[in-house]
Amino acid sequence: MSDWTWEYNPSEEHVAHGFPPGVVAEVERLAVELAALGPDAATVGRPIDRDGGLREFDILNGRGFISFLAVPRQQCVYVCNITWYG
């Protein structure tokens, strides 16, 4: 089990405001799973040709995606953006 955590960046209000509750719940569920991966979270999603940096991961069967950063130094996954096609 990982000691990593996750947070919205810059804030939950900025990133998740206005999205349906089910979308936010799915994003938070995925964030918990990404944090559980620890440093391996830097290899999840796109881009597939390199590790680290801003990553993207599909949500709800391709109906949107999240953008996140996995920061090993802070042992944290930061959810930076949600894109929802509805």
* Full DSSP string of 57-79: EEETTTTEEEEEEEEGGGTEEEE
* pLDDT higher than 90, residue 2: no
SS3 47: coil
* pLDDT higher than 70, residue 1: no
- How confident is the model over 25-49, as pLDDT tens digits? 999 999 999 999 999 999 999 999 9
- Domain ranges (residues) in the chain: 5-84
What is the band of 86 on the pLDDT scale with cuts at 50, 70, 90? confident
Segment 55-59 mean pLDDT: 96
The two three-digit tokens of residue 6, written as one number? 């996750």
SS3 55: strand
- How confident is the model over 5-28, as pLDDT tens digits? 999 999 999 999 999 999 999 999
Prediction pTM value: 0.93
How many Å is the maximal CA-CA distance in the chain?
A: 35
